[in-house]
Amino acid sequence: MVEIFYLFNFRYIIASVFNRAEFVGNPYVLIAIGVLVIFQLGFTYLLLLQTLFGTVAIGIDIWLRNCIALPPWYYFWLIYTHSD
């Protein structure tokens, strides 16, 4: 899901990414993010895809641990501060 933050970070080369147009300026970006989230949840939780790819569902404890340990804003900050 880090790709979502990466997508928002590199939409403008010079301008700041912290503005309203960044999030609602292009409806196709929001549609792509929605599709990405649906595919990711399907890949993670649908039994057919779990069998096909050899994966298992992630429990709520893992979700909480990852959200606390490495929140998405950390990746956004990391990419934003190290991109030149």
Q: In this prediction, what percent of the chain has a pLDDT beyond 90?
A: 12
Mean pLDDT for the chain? 77
- Selection from 70, 62, 72, 13 nearest residue 37 by Cα: 72
Q: What is the pLDDT of residue 17?
A: 64
